[in-house]
Structure 1
Amino acid sequence: PGSPRGLGLGLSLSLSLPADPGPHSLRYFYTAVSEPGPGLPQFTVVGYLDDQLFFHFDSEGKGAQPRAPWIQAEGPEYWDRQTWIAKGWQEAFNGNVRIAMEHYNQSGVRGLHTFQYMYGCQLRADGSTGGFRQYGYDGRDFLSYDTRTPTWVAPSKEAEITKGKMDADRRLSQQQRDYLERKCVEWLQKYLGYGKETLQRRERPAMRVTGRDAPGGPTTLCCRAHGFYPRDIALSWLRKGESREQETWRGGVLPNGDGTYHAWATVELDPRERGLYRCHVERESLAQPLVAVWGEAGGQPGSQPGRVVTAEPAWIPAWPGQPGSQPGRVVTAEPAWIPAWPGCDCGASLDLSLGRGVTAEPAWIPAWAGV
């Protein structure tokens, strides 16, 4: 696809940092598979700014596509260029799958195999930067780049040949360092400028607690924080003000379809002690923690009989459709009732569509003459 060095687009290092300095990251994921099928293209590239998908290309589509409104600040020439770049890497990465299969003695054996590449950079809160490059095969680490040395690290003997080739090419190593330390950071700063209104917004979490009783057994309380942004959150269960970390089970922080996040935590307890437990939420953007408790105050519309959620102390974002609320506005509750969610199905993501795909990037990546 032409000379990789021609892809540096001359961004100025004088680009100003956003009001929120970080942490922020720019990451790209390349994936090639040995046996494509319906819904599984042979080659895919996706790009993320922080945790927001903004770029997508796959071998079955018409070209590179925007996945976030702010990236449309780039014009048609940008997208034509990225399509050309991604198509150029498609053949190389499809070949890498076959070569990796040879290294692992899997040639001629039917089955799905994947070869992946992840790279990018980050801007930390203190203004420092860092970069990363990593290759994977069938979900395992294949090769990674140590920016401190700088050398390639091979975690398995199958990658030793590739490591030797990469380390021997000093010109390639210098180009890789230059991209990670300078060019990638310039792109990151530029994209942060495009998406700052979205990425620097602050959305407070709404909280809900549900309970489930096991016949003759313990009660399970599930606390869910929903609709918050950015991703950072500390969600915990307290009994009489003391942390119950050992008894708490967390499901991680998961994305919603609108770009916000949700998280949950459950705890098992003696049903006679349910009134002693509080769900405690802390975030940097909150002046004071949010606390929610499972109550006994009689059925409100949409709640389970006898199961009500209260919030102590106050701020809870208005949910769409809540009487008197408007999208984006905040209402107070001191305490306030929120309809309990049915059951305690805390493990399901609210929007599985965010799990699709893997996307590409506006930058140069070293070509492999076979892995």
Structure 2
Amino acid sequence: MRRVSPFCSVGWGPGSPRGLGWAKGASGCGGLSLSLPADPGPHLLRYFYTAVSEPGPGLPQFTVVGYLDDQLFFHFDSEGKGAQPRAPWIQAEGPEYWDRQTWIAKGWQEPFNGNVRIAMEHYNQSLHTFQYMYGCQLRADGSTGGFWQYGYDGRDFLSYDTRTPTWVAPSKEAEITKGKMEADRRLSQQQRDYLERKCVEWLQKYLGYGKETLQRRERPAVRVTGRDAPDGPTTLCCRAHGFYPRDIALSWLRKGESREQETWRGGVLPNGDGTYHAWATVELDPRERGLYRCHVEHESLAQPLVAVWGEAGGCGRPRGRGHPGKPEGPGSQPGAGCDRGASLDPSLAGV
């Protein structure tokens, strides 16, 4: 199938999946990851294209997926029949939309596979991956931003700086591709226009479709647990559970002062019900455990929550007033998970 124009009046497709003129010397580990842009803001629209040299069970040769925030809503792969909705709200688009998306995705398939073949001609490795990620963000202050990156074998290969606008090559192996991309000024202008205008328009449209789930606010349940090391420090763990949207700030304070250098954080991870959980730990002298507070900020809160180890009903409370807490999961009773926070039993800390 011929390569289709990437700038059709549809929700995605900015950029031409042409052969990229791979430079000799690039190599990698065959991973499937690209680094994400910093400061994603409250709403983020992203698309990921992936081609692999050796498809297998559960790993098609070519795949396209779309995410709004962290919710998968679009899927296409070379083994399926066409583009498929993956979230109820995107079904607001009719059959014509999905026929169009299928046509475009198939148009990208051969160029992406061709880039993998070009890479294989240069490097004697068993598995190669070629990726493309693009999208836009709508920040809390109303400003917007766009991004896209090419990745090869799990490493960032080339990215577009919308401020300049120029292509950025993180290594000398990408310089040939950078030169080819910047030589096409018409393409660069189209890319910039897509990121600054069209992508944001589609992001706002999709947010309208999914506003009941994507623009909701769920308060975090917060509790503090702890454990003692024999003849060593105490570790306090502050957990926030059941919150939405994803962005949250957990910090440990000692007498009101931040202990950022002593804090260890886990990632913000999804729950099965579409909400998130996160945690932050701090090590301290057992004699000072009463001096520490967990400070939690989230969009659902009018004011920060403060959680203290050993406090009755220690699920966390807004400053100056009580908070009844929230069940931790299926089968929990109100406050049941919070009461465990007053224990220093290591088996309950789960750190």
- Quick check: 1:99–1:370 contact (8 Å CA) kept in 2? no
Q: How many residue pairs align between the two structures?
A: 319
Alpha-carbon shift at residue 20 of structure 1 (Å)? 17
Alpha-carbon shift at residue 238 of structure 1 (Å)? 2.2
Aligned partners of 2:112, 2:304: CA distance in 1, in Å? 48
Structure 1 residues 145, 349: closer, same or farther in 2, change over 3 A? Answer: farther
Aligned partners of 1:370, 1:101: CA distance in 2, in Å? 46
* Residue deviations 1:216-253 (CA, integer Å, cap 9, x gap): 32222211101111122211122333322221101122
Structure 1 residues 100, 13: closer, same or farther in 2, change over 3 A? Answer: closer
Aligned partners of 2:49, 2:39: CA distance in 1, in Å? 29
Alpha-carbon shift at residue 326 of structure 1 (Å)? 11
- Quick check: 2:295–2:305 contact (8 Å CA) kept in 1? yes
TM-score, length basis structure 2: 0.73
Alignment-derived partner of residue 344 in structure 1: 338
Deviates more, 1:51-60 or 1:122-131: 122-131
Instruction: Name the SS of the counterpart of 2:340 in structure 1.
Output: coil
Alpha-carbon shift at residue 92 of structure 1 (Å)? 1.4
Instruction: Name the SS of the counterpart of 1:294 in structure 2.
Output: coil
The percentage of aligned residue pairs carrying the same residue is: 96
Alpha-carbon shift at residue 153 of structure 1 (Å)? 2.2
Alpha-carbon shift at residue 172 of structure 1 (Å)? 2.1
- Quick check: 2:75–2:85 contact (8 Å CA) kept in 1? yes
- Quick check: 2:252–2:259 contact (8 Å CA) kept in 1? yes
* Residue deviations 1:174-231 (CA, integer Å, cap 9, x gap): 3222322222122112111111222221100011222222223222221110111112
- Quick check: 1:13–1:186 contact (8 Å CA) kept in 2? no
Alpha-carbon shift at residue 367 of structure 1 (Å)? 55
Aligned partners of 2:350, 2:100: CA distance in 1, in Å? 24
Aligned partners of 2:51, 2:85: CA distance in 1, in Å? 21
Alpha-carbon shift at residue 3 of structure 1 (Å)? 11
- Quick check: 1:15–1:190 contact (8 Å CA) kept in 2? no
Structure 1 residues 83, 155: closer, same or farther in 2, change over 3 A? Answer: same
- Quick check: 2:219–2:242 contact (8 Å CA) kept in 1? yes
- Quick check: 2:135–2:195 contact (8 Å CA) kept in 1? yes
Aligned partners of 1:369, 1:167: CA distance in 2, in Å? 54
Q: Which runs of 5+ in 2 are unaligned?
A: 1-13, 22-29, 318-323
Aligned partners of 1:298, 1:45: CA distance in 2, in Å? 46
Alpha-carbon shift at residue 31 of structure 1 (Å)? 1.1
Aligned partners of 2:78, 2:119: CA distance in 1, in Å? 20
- Quick check: 1:130–1:181 contact (8 Å CA) kept in 2? yes
- Quick check: 2:241–2:276 contact (8 Å CA) kept in 1? yes
- Quick check: 1:115–1:136 contact (8 Å CA) kept in 2? yes
Alignment of 1:1-371 (within 5 A): 23-103=42-122, 106=125, 112-295=127-310
Structure 1 residues 92, 66: closer, same or farther in 2, change over 3 A? Answer: same
Alpha-carbon shift at residue 106 of structure 1 (Å)? 4.7
Structure 1 residues 103, 131: closer, same or farther in 2, change over 3 A? Answer: farther
TM-score, length basis structure 1: 0.69
Structure 1 residues 124, 288: closer, same or farther in 2, change over 3 A? Answer: closer
Aligned partners of 1:368, 1:273: CA distance in 2, in Å? 21
Question: What RMSD in Å do the two structures reach over aligned CA positions?
Answer: 10.3
Alpha-carbon shift at residue 115 of structure 1 (Å)? 1.0
Q: Which runs of 5+ in 1 are unaligned?
A: 300-305, 308-319, 329-342, 352-365
- Quick check: 1:255–1:350 contact (8 Å CA) kept in 2? no
- Quick check: 1:256–1:349 contact (8 Å CA) kept in 2? no
Instruction: Name the SS of the counterpart of 2:18 in structure 1.
Output: helix
Alpha-carbon shift at residue 69 of structure 1 (Å)? 1.5
Aligned partners of 2:203, 2:123: CA distance in 1, in Å? 36
Structure 1 residues 140, 209: closer, same or farther in 2, change over 3 A? Answer: same
Alpha-carbon shift at residue 344 of structure 1 (Å)? 14
Deviates more, 1:125-134 or 1:139-148: 125-134
Instruction: Report which structure shows greater RCO (CA 8 Å, sep ≥6).
Output: 1
Aligned partners of 2:339, 2:185: CA distance in 1, in Å? 53
